[in-house]
Amino acid sequence: MAARQLSVVSVGAHQDDELGCLGTLIRYHQQGWRITTVSVSNGDKGGQHDPSIPHAVIAQTRIEEATRVAGELDGRYFCLGQEDGFVFDSREVRLALAGILRSVEADVVITLPPADYNNDHVMAGQIALHASLLAAVNVIDTDAPPLPRAPFVLHMDTIVGLDFQPTHYVDISDQFAEKARLLRLHDSQMRSQPNITGWDLVTHAEVVGRFRGQQCGVHYAEGFRPVLRTPLLRPGWMLPQ
Amino acid sequence: MAARQLSVVSVGAHQDDELGCLGTLIRYHQQGWRITTVSVSNGDKGGQHDPSIPHAVIAQTRIEEATRVAGELDGRYFCLGQEDGFVFDSREVRLALAGILRSVEADVVITLPPADYNNDHVMAGQIALHASLLAAVNVIDTDAPPLPRAPFVLHMDTIVGLDFQPTHYVDISDQFAEKARLLRLHDSQMRSQPNITGWDLVTHAEVVGRFRGQQCGVHYAEGFRPVLRTPLLRPGWMLPQ
Amino acid sequence: MAARQLSVVSVGAHQDDELGCLGTLIRYHQQGWRITTVSVSNGDKGGQHDPSIPHAVIAQTRIEEATRVAGELDGRYFCLGQEDGFVFDSREVRLALAGILRSVEADVVITLPPADYNNDHVMAGQIALHASLLAAVNVIDTDAPPLPRAPFVLHMDTIVGLDFQPTHYVDISDQFAEKARLLRLHDSQMRSQPNITGWDLVTHAEVVGRFRGQQCGVHYAEGFRPVLRTPLLRPGWMLPQ
Amino acid sequence: MAARQLSVVSVGAHQDDELGCLGTLIRYHQQGWRITTVSVSNGDKGGQHDPSIPHAVIAQTRIEEATRVAGELDGRYFCLGQEDGFVFDSREVRLALAGILRSVEADVVITLPPADYNNDHVMAGQIALHASLLAAVNVIDTDAPPLPRAPFVLHMDTIVGLDFQPTHYVDISDQFAEKARLLRLHDSQMRSQPNITGWDLVTHAEVVGRFRGQQCGVHYAEGFRPVLRTPLLRPGWMLPQ
Amino acid sequence: MAARQLSVVSVGAHQDDELGCLGTLIRYHQQGWRITTVSVSNGDKGGQHDPSIPHAVIAQTRIEEATRVAGELDGRYFCLGQEDGFVFDSREVRLALAGILRSVEADVVITLPPADYNNDHVMAGQIALHASLLAAVNVIDTDAPPLPRAPFVLHMDTIVGLDFQPTHYVDISDQFAEKARLLRLHDSQMRSQPNITGWDLVTHAEVVGRFRGQQCGVHYAEGFRPVLRTPLLRPGWMLPQ
Amino acid sequence: MAARQLSVVSVGAHQDDELGCLGTLIRYHQQGWRITTVSVSNGDKGGQHDPSIPHAVIAQTRIEEATRVAGELDGRYFCLGQEDGFVFDSREVRLALAGILRSVEADVVITLPPADYNNDHVMAGQIALHASLLAAVNVIDTDAPPLPRAPFVLHMDTIVGLDFQPTHYVDISDQFAEKARLLRLHDSQMRSQPNITGWDLVTHAEVVGRFRGQQCGVHYAEGFRPVLRTPLLRPGWMLPQ
């Protein structure tokens, strides 16, 4: 595994769905990993703070915001372009994501859990699992060559921790301020999100982060569960230590 | 919340899928709530008692039956028109249902649980959850204006109580006779249902109702579980008390 | 049920174990219910902030603190006197608790869940369930006469929310400040608790309260699950509404 | 397995706890199995219909009733003599039960599940599992010689089906009338049971039996789950077919 | 049930997905049942051992292999023809499978569980459940007449036993050698499978078979769970005894 | 944490209960950790291969075997002396174990899960959890001073993997031969164990180890779950990496 830079990819439905794993991505980055973020949708329903903004403009704004956040981690953001609110699984979206996982040589994929609040999230997680499998299948053609082996895949927490009990905790006490700073770069969503769930992204991160932290005896934590599917499951720990 | 009439919507796959919550709808109605029932499919495979009846005729019959049942509760029935046996999730069906939820100003939605016996039921529940979310998204356009907040959503029992343990029980002892009377208005299904599950609707209601009643110490009850997804989850009790 | 004052009893292992339901007790009190708190142990290991204090002194201090907190709710605190850290189920402790439930004519019992962090908590919950059953058994003799029916029993949240997904949420946004004030009356435990779990009682209440609140769309909430055992289960809602 | 008569033992806390498996015992008997019933307690709190009856008299009455029921199946009833309401696990009770299992050469044991409503039931189930293990341990001495192998152990349903989803169903449609007749032989409990759970034994059997029957497509059924512990688990089916 | 030959159908996503139930199929065959195997996909991504082989050639090879395996059990293999890696539920595939279940007069269907590793597997299981329901619906037209009743449906184990705890075990100790022999007839997959999961089919069968065997006290076993949906659930045992 | 040697303790009911974690202990040892093994019972029922051996002799033999195994890992074995087959929780056994955890400055405790096959195992796990908590309580006196913080506690697999789905896997492919060698040092149990579960210790290790290995893509693995209780839960990974 020597000289190659290790690579982690978060796969969400929307541009700010790394909410549940951003502190962990910061720790990965601090340890030298390559960071990639992906959203399956274009996020074009994210203008709830100002419905007069055209959907296409919001999508573009969010893409720029997500690109900037990824850039702060020396990483790259990819948008798969599906309509927000209407993410469905398909041959095309699976191949597009498999192609990205190959191009960045993913070792770890972190995605949304099946109990999450929005069916776009459920679908994004389903697509991420299947694409992770396909990425190592040598008879599936994409621009990039197949991975030598499928990435290790984990589910992040649901947006408010409902119906999710982590088994893996990452201490992000030292990364929390940076996590909050990066979340604020999703400026449009800082204003839009309260219209859906009642609180902005930083408040969600604060409340869930302290709760998961208290559960494992630190100030802030993020919680995960490994996906119990071969060949996506590995021995040992591939989260930041 | 003052003067506005509160509003509950049951969302099933077929016209008689309020089987698991009809006693509760009767109690809501007695307490002054507005009642709406929705089926995602047209129910056109409901002619099993007489396969010679054309599918379209059965669909029309069932729509009339469901309309009459809703009418007995001073409510309204909506049919989303998908083919019975082949309910799938889609952009169109989600928007159609979100539009209905908006038009009746839904406060509570009761739908079918993910463990139910027929994939039409599973899909109807999935569609109901997503449409409940979309109904309060102000950048999604339908004829009716967005809801000020998403409804509280609960799952009703499965048809024979398999793989479902309620956490919320509603005493329908005083409503059971009326529930049976209304179920008999689904006249075609009283004759068709035994061909699928072995018993008619009133027998299902009787057997499950007594069982759920005995579990909580009353003569007849219906059982529910809140959907554990933000923003569909609320504090307190929004079922009839 | 007319003129009789309704009665709720929280049963914990230690004097501050109403941590998970104190906001709810405040709401019950505001609605005119009779409040009782019980701890199975004497809490004599609560001197971790100053191990030089004799165990018996700590126990006495905690009993006084718990008595004062109950008094602020016009209620009464009972101590069953078992050694802290070594709570076991027995004939005697069951009968003692059943006697208390009878003497205060308990309608609702709130106790600790089986997944809680300390075996004293697990045992207290087990004892509470069995005593609730015995309290209505007319051939079991205690000083007080049998209850006409067993109370409705619920489990409160675990201390840091681990391994517990509520199905019932109570909004305590308006009671949170008072909850914090009452918790501070457990002065010895405000200083001792950080030695075990890392945070004081008010911090636990704050972090868990905001998290459970966010899950159901309010500022602060407490979460519960009904105990799925006959005759302890009832239809409807017996928590504050 | 040749000529030896096969043997099934139901282990409950009280004399009427074969409520959840009596139809199945009748089928076993019809197929030539040897039937044994055991209660861990003496049932001396079963006089709730007439609290003036001394506890010892009730215990004696119930022992006679249970003996008669077992006799109707050409079987035998054993009482382990613990005080009703206060069943605890112990070295003595385990050895007593292991001795019985050996003396009747048990092939199958059916006992109460861990979610049942009364801690006596939970304890009886725990004792039954451990005694089943010990029965085949050749260095544990009892009057009877060790079993050549541990029996296959299953959990029966809870008294009102709460928190129990069977995986194994036995059709007792043709045995239900006989089950009701035998339950009525527990004459004292037909009158006492309504004081605890609200209904008599035959009503419980009727309501749960029809519900479990409807779930698997027959008129009456009883539901079971195999105990997932080696060496108590076996391949194949050892329930009546 | 008299003279009619009983019929079992295994429904997988790929031609070798009877991996989890092949020993059981051998036992069914030995007991005189009619054997049918179905794969929803054409398996055209099974050439991972030699990516130079055209997809269509691989599909054809696998169809021949599966046909031969079924033939060894005097049975028949059906291919539903979907693209491997991209199995989706649809009206057409459901009807095609329902038609097959009717044509072979299925009494039992064994399919893949929802937790399996590949979304093709998850979809195949979902399609199998719905088609089993439709097969007995007399107003759904296919070439073959409707079944008199829906088949009994069970889930087989996941490929490496992840996230699956059987409740039904079938002893295949005496069939294991034959199972291994038949698996080797999937010659292409013996060479391709190690590229996905790391081991060939016989090794999977060996490792999982010994593990499930040890759990129930025999040398080799296969594990199952009944599908908890009416009318697919039955009393008694329809697996080989 | 600097210069102090890290310390892991396995707590079982019997002397060979490190069966589920011995490969992991070998890896800990290779990484310089201090190894301790504890059995709550004296194992005096372990003479099933030769019932003529007095119980006390077997106990002594097993203590010597366990001492030797621990010695091979430069560690120490402690026996808490309870009668085999009759392990119960008590004040004394908790304090004895807490004293050992303190004396070896435990950082990690690995113990038996609540679903294990023998009630001695269930009790040993319960005692281990409570003793781990008490070990850091500064007002509980034992010979050794309190730990600065409670150890991180994990459950190991059940003996044949029943009812246990690991979330944490440790690759023991390179340690398996040594694990087998050390298990054979439990010479008496190599001969006794087949009388209970049907196979000897090495066979259990082989079958479960290959199965858990295959699940996570390696040759041999052991599986674990963190105990979800504060303060026993920690962020990060404390198993061998």
- Per-residue pLDDT, averaged over E45-61, amounts to 97
User: How many angstroms from the chain centroid is the CA of residue D173?
Assistant: 19
The answer on pLDDT for C119 being more than 70 is yes
Which residue does chain A place closest to F228, by CA atoms? A167
The answer on pLDDT for C33 being more than 50 is yes
Which residue does chain A place closest to B93, by CA atoms? A86
Q: Which residues of A touch F165 (CB under 8 A)?
A: 228
Query: Is there an interface between F and B (3+ Cβ pairs < 8 A)?
Result: no
- pLDDT value of position B3: 75
**The two structure tokens encoding residue D145:** 């010689």
pLDDT grade, residue F3 (50/70/90)? confident
Which residue does chain C place closest to D45, by CA atoms? C139
Bridge partners (DSSP) of residue C98 are none
**CB of A130 less than 8 A from some CB of E:** yes
Q: Which residues of D touch F159 (CB under 8 A)?
A: 230
pLDDT grade, residue B163 (50/70/90)? very high
- pLDDT value of position F1: 45
Window A:182-241, CB contacts with F under 8 Å: 214-218, 221, 225-226, 228, 230-231, 233-237, 239, 241
- Per-residue pLDDT, averaged over F172-192, amounts to 98
Q: Does residue A54 have a cis peptide bond before it, meaning omega lies within 30 degrees of 0?
A: no
The answer on pLDDT for C65 being more than 60 is yes
**The two structure tokens encoding residue D213:** 């029957």
Bridge partners (DSSP) of residue F225 are F155
Q: Does residue E231 have a cis peptide bond before it, meaning omega lies within 30 degrees of 0?
A: yes
**The two structure tokens encoding residue C165:** 């997904």
- Identity at D168, one-letter amino acid code: H
- pLDDT value of position D222: 98
Q: What ipTM was estimated for this complex?
A: 0.96
**Nearest-CB residue to B199 (from D197, D207, D214):** D214
Nearest to E8 by CA among E113, E132, E94: E132
Shortest Cα distance, chain B CAs vs residue E37, angstroms: 23
pLDDT per position as a tens digit, B76-106 = 999 999 999 999 999 999 999 999 999 999 9
**Nearest-CB residue to F236 (from A167, A214, A241):** A241
- Contact call for residues A150 and A162 (beta carbons, < 8 A): no
Determine the residue among E173, E214, E218 to mutate to test chain F binding: the one whose Cβ has the most chain F Cβ atoms within 10 Å. Answer: E214
Contact between chains at B217 and D197 (C-beta distance less than 8 A): yes
The answer on pLDDT for A2 being more than 70 is no
Q: Which residues of C touch F124 (CB under 8 A)?
A: none
**Helix (H), strand (E) counts: chain B:** 8, 7
Chains in touch with F (3+ beta-carbon pairs under 8 Å) read A, C, D, E
Q: Which residues of F touch E199 (CB under 8 A)?
A: 214
Q: What one-character-per-residue DSSP string does D119-147 give?
A: HHHHHHHHHHHHHHHHTT-TTS--SSPPP
- Count other Cβ atoms within 10 Å, centred on residue B210: 22
CA atoms within 13 A on the CB side of B34: 15
- Per-residue pLDDT, averaged over E30-49, amounts to 97
pLDDT grade, residue B40 (50/70/90)? very high
Instruction: Find the radius of gyration of the CA atoms of chain B.
Output: 17
- pLDDT value of position F2: 52
Shortest Cα distance, chain A CAs vs residue B110, angstroms: 17
Pairing state of beta strands B221-226 and B168-171? Answer: antiparallel
**CA separation for the pair F108, F232 (Å, rounded):** 9
Contact between chains at B215 and D165 (C-beta distance less than 8 A): no
Which residues, 6 or more positions from A219, have their beta carbon under 8 angstroms from its beta carbon? Answer: A173, A176, A210, A213
pLDDT per position as a tens digit, A197-230 = 999 999 999 999 999 999 999 999 999 999 999 9
Shortest Cα distance, chain D CAs vs residue E127, angstroms: 21
Determine the residue among F215, F218, F220, F229 to mutate to test chain A binding: the one whose Cβ has the most chain A Cβ atoms within 10 Å. Answer: F215
Window A:44-73, CB contacts with B under 8 Å: 45-48, 51, 55, 58
Q: Which residues of C touch B217 (CB under 8 A)?
A: 149, 230-231, 233-235
**Nearest-CB residue to A48 (from B94, B130, B138):** B138
- Per-residue pLDDT, averaged over B199-207, amounts to 97
pLDDT per position as a tens digit, F125-139 = 999 999 999 999 999
**CA separation for the pair C203, C198 (Å, rounded):** 10
**Nearest-CB residue to A237 (from F217, F228, F237):** F237
Bridge partners (DSSP) of residue F37 are F10, F77
- pLDDT value of position C3: 75
Shortest Cα distance, chain F CAs vs residue D104, angstroms: 20
**CA separation for the pair E112, A55 (Å, rounded):** 41
Instruction: Find the radius of gyration of the CA atoms of chain E.
Output: 17
- pLDDT value of position D1: 44
The fraction of chain B above a pLDDT of 70, given in percent, is 99
- pLDDT value of position D2: 52
Positive or negative torsion for Cα A32, A34, A39, A44: positive
Contact between chains at C51 and F136 (C-beta distance less than 8 A): no
**CB of E148 less than 8 A from some CB of B:** no
pLDDT per position as a tens digit, E119-142 = 999 999 999 999 999 999 999 999
Alpha helices in chain C (DSSP H): 22-30, 55-72, 91-103, 119-134, 176-184, 187-192, 194-197, 201-216
Which residue does chain F place closest to D89, by CA atoms? F88
- Per-residue pLDDT, averaged over B135-146, amounts to 96
Establish, for the pair of chains A and F, how many residue pairs have beta carbons separated by less than 8 Å: 69
Bridge partners (DSSP) of residue D148 are none
The answer on pLDDT for C210 being more than 90 is yes
* CA-to-CA separations, B59 to B19, B44, E100, E137, in angstroms, rounded: 18, 4, 27, 16
**Nearest-CB residue to C165 (from A163, A203, A215):** A163
Contact between chains at D235 and E218 (C-beta distance less than 8 A): yes
Contact between chains at C118 and F130 (C-beta distance less than 8 A): yes
Burial D109-122 (b: 16+ CB within 10 A, else e): bbbbbebbbbbbbb
Window D:156-175, CB contacts with B under 8 Å: 160-163, 165
Contact between chains at A45 and B229 (C-beta distance less than 8 A): no
**Nearest-CB residue to A235 (from F216, F231, F233):** F216
Which residue does chain F place closest to A227, by CA atoms? F167
Shortest Cα distance, chain D CAs vs residue B107, angstroms: 30
**CA separation for the pair E208, E221 (Å, rounded):** 8
Q: Which residues of B touch C215 (CB under 8 A)?
A: 230, 233
**Nearest-CB residue to A231 (from E86, E115, E197):** E197
Instruction: Find the radius of gyration of the CA atoms of chain D.
Output: 17
**CB of E94 less than 8 A from some CB of B:** yes
Going by the DSSP 8-state scheme, the letter that residue D83 receives in this structure is: P
Determine the residue among F172, F233, F238 to mutate to test chain A binding: the one whose Cβ has the most chain A Cβ atoms within 10 Å. Answer: F233
Query: Is there an interface between E and C (3+ Cβ pairs < 8 A)?
Result: no
* CA-to-CA separations, E208 to A235, C117, D171, E205, E221, in angstroms, rounded: 18, 35, 32, 5, 8
Residues of chain D under the 70 pLDDT cut: 1-2
**Nearest-CB residue to C217 (from B217, B225, B234):** B234
Shortest Cα distance, chain F CAs vs residue A93, angstroms: 27
Burial F127-151 (b: 16+ CB within 10 A, else e): bbbbbbbbbbbbbbebeeebbebbb
Contact between chains at D207 and B198 (C-beta distance less than 8 A): no
* CA-to-CA separations, C220 to A158, B140, B234, B235, C205, in angstroms, rounded: 19, 30, 12, 10, 9
Q: Which residues of B touch C237 (CB under 8 A)?
A: 236-237, 239, 241
**For C118, phi and psi rounded to 5 degrees?**
-130, 135
- Per-residue pLDDT, averaged over C207-235, amounts to 98
Helix (H) or strand (E) segment spanning residue E21: none
Chains in touch with E (3+ beta-carbon pairs under 8 Å) read A, B, D, F
Q: Which residues of E touch D230 (CB under 8 A)?
A: 214-217
